[in-house]
A and B are shown apart, each in its own frame.
Chain A
Amino acid sequence: MLVPILKQGDFLIASIQSSLTDADLLQLRDDLVEQVGRYRSRGVIVDVTVLDVMDSFAVRTLSTLAQMVTLRGAETVIVGIQPEVAFAMVQLGLTLGAVATALDLEEGLAYLRQRTKRSGRGGR
Chain B
Amino acid sequence: MKPAGTELGSMEPTAGVLSELVSHLRRNRTQLREEWVRRITESRLLIAMTKEEIFAEATSVFDNYVEVLETGSVEALQAYARNLSERIIPRGVDTPEVLGIVLLLRDVLARSLFEKYQADFSLLNRVLDAYEPAANRIATTVAVGFVQERERVIRQQQEAIRELSTPVLQVRERLLILPIIGVVDSERARQLTEQLLRGVRSNRAKVVVMDITGVPSVDATVANHLVQTVEASRLLGATVIVTGLSPEIAQTLVTIGVDLTKMNTVGDLQGGIEEAERVLGYKVSSVREATVSDES
Contacts of B190 in A (CB 8 A): 87
Cβ-neighbour of A83 out of B201, B204, B206 (below 8 A): B201
Cβ-neighbour of A87 out of B193, B204, B206, B234 (below 8 A): B193
Stretch from B65-73, B124-132, B235-243 at the A interface = B235-243
Within 8 A of A (CB), among B12-63: none
Contacts of A91 in B (CB 8 A): 228
B249 to chain A, nearest CB (A): 22
Complex Cα distance A111/B234, Å? Answer: 14
Complex Cα distance A86/B232, Å? Answer: 5
Q: Is B231 in contact with A102, judged by CB distance below 8 angstroms?
A: no
Q: Does A90 contact B (CB under 8 A)?
A: yes
Q: Does B198 contact A (CB under 8 A)?
A: yes
Interface residues on B, range: 10 to 19
Complex Cα distance A48/B197, Å? Answer: 16
Q: Is A103 in contact with B237, judged by CB distance below 8 angstroms?
A: yes
Q: A79-B237, A101-B236 are in contact. Are A95 and B198 (CB under 8 A)?
A: no
Instruction: Indicate with 1 or 0, residue by residue over A89-124, a CB within 8 angstroms of chain B CB atoms.
Output: 111000110000111000110010000000000000
B243 to chain A, nearest CB (A): 21
Q: Does A25 contact B (CB under 8 A)?
A: no
Name the CB-closest residue of B to A96: B235
A89 to chain B, nearest CB (A): 6
- Give chain A's interface secondary structure class: helix
Q: Is A81 in contact with B235, judged by CB distance below 8 angstroms?
A: yes
Q: A83-B200, A83-B201, A103-B201 are in contact. Are A90 and B237 (CB under 8 A)?
A: no
Q: A83-B197, A83-B198 are in contact. Are A102 and B232 (CB under 8 A)?
A: no
Contacts of B237 in A (CB 8 A): 79, 101-103, 107-108, 111
Enumerate chain B interface residues (CB-CB to A < 8 A): 190, 193-194, 197-198, 200-201, 204, 206, 228, 231-238
Enumerate chain A interface residues (CB-CB to B < 8 A): 78-79, 81, 83, 85-87, 89-91, 95-96, 101-103, 107-108, 111
